[in-house]
Copies of this chain bind each other. A is one copy, B any other.
C-alpha cells in the first residue's frame, strides 16, 4: 500500500504501535514527550521538521523569518505543555546555491526568537541535500513534575479558551498562496504567518488549565485531538472566536470566510486550553472563552449552519 494513503496518523500508528514508553514516561502522541528526572522535574522534548516546498517557499520567505519560524514552532510545543524551553538543536540539509549571507540571516532570525526565551542553540548537524532545504529542530524544556498539561486532561464542564486571535496566520498564508496585493492588513497577517510568537509566559502562567495544546492545524482539527484523548465532546460558538481587525479587513476585501480561516487555518501557535469555570474567573492570562467541554462526544459548532471541520478545507 502506498504510504500516502495511510495519512499522517496511520503512519504514526505504525510507529507508535512498535514502541511502548517506559513506566512514567509520556511518549508519542502529545505536543512533547515527558521524561521525569530524579530531581523532581520533567524534561520535555519535541521535534519538528520543515521541508522546502511543503512548509515554505524559498522565493517568498526571507532567511531571517525562516530561521525565526523554525525555532518558534518548536518552542511553541514546550509552551503548549506549560514548560520552559531550555535548549534547541538544529539540523540542516542544505542544497547547493545558498549564500553565506543567507545562512547568517537565517541564524540571526533563529537567534532572535531563541534569545527572546533564553533558549540557546546547543548543537546540531549540517549536511548537503540534493534538492531541497530541509530543517529539523529539536527543543528541550522543563517543568516541575506533574505540572504539564496533556491533551487527555480535559474534563466535562470545562470552558474551552484560546489566547490571542485566531486565523491571522491562515489569512497570511492565503495572501501568499493567492498572490494578493499586500496592504498593511495583509502584511500584518503574513508577519503572523512567518514570525509566530510562542506563548511561553502564558503557558507557564496557566497552572490551573487542564488540557492544553498549541494551535498548529487550526482549532477544528486541534480541538479534536483533545476531545479524542480526553474521551469527551465540545460545543464551540463561532461568534465568540477572537478575530483580529486585520483578518476581518482582509476577509472583507477578498471575500474570504473568516470563520473558515479561524477554525481551519493553522499555524496560529496560540494556546488552546480547557479550564474549570471557577478557575477561569480569576485567570490573569488574557484569553477568550469560545466553548465548553461536553459529555456528549463530537465537536459541534454554534452560530452558523455551515460545518467547520479544520484544516481539510485548505
Contacts and interface: CB of A to CB of B under 8 A. Distances in A.
Interface of A: 1-6, 8, 10-12, 14-15, 18-22, 25-28, 32-33, 35, 37-39, 41, 43, 45-55, 86-87, 89-94, 96-104, 107-108, 111, 114, 120-132, 134, 136, 138, 140
Contact of A33 (B39, B87, B97, B108): B87
A107 B14 contact: yes
B2 A97 contact: yes
Contacts of A128: 4, 51, 54
Contacts of A3: 94, 98-100, 102-103
B125 A49 contact: yes
Contacts of A97: 2
B108 A45 contact: no
A146 B230 CA distance: 42
A171 to B, nearest CB: 23
B93 A45 contact: no
A47 B55 CA distance: 21
A59 to B, nearest CB: 14
A6 B100 CA distance: 8
A46 to B, nearest CB: 7
A2 B95 CA distance: 11
**A5, A41, A100, A104: most-surrounded residue (chain B CB, <10 A):** A100
A126 B12 contact: yes
B19 A49 contact: no
Contacts of A20: 120
Given A28-B124, A130-B131, 7 more contacts: A6-B100, A18-B111, A18-B121, A19-B120, A49-B93, A51-B134, A129-B134
A15 B90 contact: yes
Contact of A35 (B10, B99, B140): B140
Given A45-B123, A136-B49, A136-B136, A14 B91 contact: no
B130 A130 contact: no
A2 B131 contact: no
A120 to B, nearest CB: 5
Given A129-B132, A134-B51, A27 B120 contact: yes
Query: Closest 9 A-B residue pairs measured CB to CB?
Result: A136-B136, A38-B39, A33-B122, A39-B39, A49-B91, A53-B130, A138-B138, A27-B122, A134-B134
Contacts of A19: 111, 114, 120-122
